[in-house]
Chains A and B, each alone.
Chain A
Amino acid sequence: MSQNFLDHIKSLLPYAEVHLIYKNKAYAKVPKEYWIDSAKKLKSAGFTLLSFVSGIDRLNSIEVIYACRKPEGNGLVIVGTIIDRNNPRIPSLITVWEGALWHERETFDLLGIYFEGNPDMRRILLPDEWVGHPLRKDYKW
């Protein structure tokens, strides 16, 4: 069953490097150009529920991730892409899932990743005049 799931994800995202995390949970690393394309393909394949959008500070780069679930059939795919740490910009997922609005605001607030195309790119958890992004590993307070 897990091999079927892995093959299914690999056929959906041929440009991605897919690893199986657990039975029906997979991690796919995609190039930056296919960020929106992977979301559209996964959504049309039944992964209609966006769980979260987040990011990881890897010190010399930043990884943006999103996770989407399949309500019928119980599957989870985490898609990640590596972007530049000094100028972290990525297209917004709001064209695919409208619910990505607040997730992207939170990621912008805590990690400083700018989502191009998001209409409301303000801080959400911290006050507007805050300086810095607290979840970056070199943040000092």
Chain B
Amino acid sequence: MGITDLFQDLKIKIINPRYLPFIDKLLIWGRRNSLWLLVLGIKCCTIEDIMVPGAANYDFERFGVLPRNSPRQCDLMIISGPITQKLARPIKVLYEQMAEPRYVIATGECSICGGPWKGMYSIIDGVDQIIPVDVYIPGCPPKPEALLEGIIKLEEKILKGEIRKKFLPKTGIPKIKEDWRS
């Protein structure tokens, strides 16, 4: 994931190799402080977790979280509600459109395990069945302070380099064909 591995893979020898760890640390520091957020509101947790911390009282831009509208420019996705079978496919496509490295926060009971709709015919039991999740924030809905705590935890994870290489789960979305766009 680091720039050292990347340069070794591409066999680039422009930079003196002893500066590479420093550049790596700089890159990780930059990633930590510029978590651009995909504006994706699913249900009521959006008000508590994207609108309120984005407003003046809590102001998550202090932590580098800047709301952007295009998934190509974003690093962070906040899942804030139950995922229906129909919504699962756009969510997966949006996740794949985001540039690496990408991080996902699941807020609220619905996105963690299905919440009050667990086991229902049209709801997926937890968003981690379709995309990998880095930080879970429980609550119904969680307070804005809890979201800020979650963002700080994610930044600590990034800084320590604990974000492992991402993978998509093998199970995929149940009951859905692959060629859904045709």
| Docked pose: A130 CA to B85 CA in angstroms | 10
| Docked pose: A126 CA to B176 CA in angstroms | 11
Q: How far is the CB of B67 from chain A (nearest CB, A)?
A: 28
Contact of B86 among A126, A134, A141 (CB under 8 A): A126
Q: For the side of the interface on B, what is the size category?
A: 10 to 19
Contact in complex: B176, A129 (CB < 8 Å): yes
| Docked pose: A128 CA to B180 CA in angstroms | 9
Asked if A127 is an interface residue, CB under 8 A from chain B, the answer is yes
Contact in complex: B176, A141 (CB < 8 Å): no
Please report whether the interface of chain B is mostly helix, strand, loop or mixed according to DSSP.
loop
Contact in complex: A125, B176 (CB < 8 Å): no
Contact in complex: B121, A127 (CB < 8 Å): no
User: In chain A between 100 and 141, which residues have their CB closer than 8 angstroms to a CB of chain B?
Assistant: 125-127, 129-130, 134, 139, 141
| Docked pose: A77 CA to B112 CA in angstroms | 43
Contact in complex: B122, A126 (CB < 8 Å): yes
**Chain B residue nearest in CB terms to A128:** B180
Asked if B177 is an interface residue, CB under 8 A from chain A, the answer is yes
**Chain A residue nearest in CB terms to B176:** A127
Given A125-B84, A134-B121: 5 more A-B contacts, CB < 8 Å: A126-B86, A127-B89, A127-B180, A129-B177, A130-B175
Which A residues contact B (CB, under 8 angstroms)? 125-127, 129-130, 134, 139, 141
**What are 21 contact pairs spanning A and B, CB under 8 A?**
A125-B84, A125-B86, A125-B122, A126-B85, A126-B86, A126-B122, A127-B85, A127-B86, A127-B89, A127-B175, A127-B176, A127-B180, A129-B176, A129-B177, A129-B180, A130-B85, A130-B175, A134-B121, A134-B122, A139-B121, A141-B121
